[in-house]
Amino acid sequence: MELPKFLLADNTDFPDSVFVVHTEFPRFIINLENDEIDWLEEFDQHDQKELETETEQTIQLASDFYDREVSRYKDD
């Protein structure tokens, strides 16, 4: 199965939270309510350098994805 790079998620146990799931390396879930990140990967020292350079950009892409999706709902 091919997954999109980002997925939106919510949960009634967290009514104020919206989550974006990043399905490619480095996989993570970000809670857009408070920008808390839960990593779905285990990292070694080799990965650490790549993670540091990609994290900020990937989080921005996740936020941009959310904004795009929300704007599409508003247009309907």
pLDDT, tens only, 15-48: 999 999 999 988 899 999 998 999 998 888 777 7
Can you tell me the distance from the alpha carbon of 73 to that of 45, in angstroms, rounded to the nearest whole number? Answer: 41
Q: In this model, does residue 12 exceed pLDDT 80?
A: yes
DSSP character for 41? S
Output the CA–CA distances (angstroms, integers) from residue 53 to 2, 39, 56, in the order listed.
26, 15, 7
Query: Structure pTM?
Result: 0.83
DSSP character for 35? T
Do residues 29 and 10 make contact, with C-beta atoms less than 8 angstroms apart?
no
φ, ψ of residue 64 in degrees (nearest 5): -65, -40
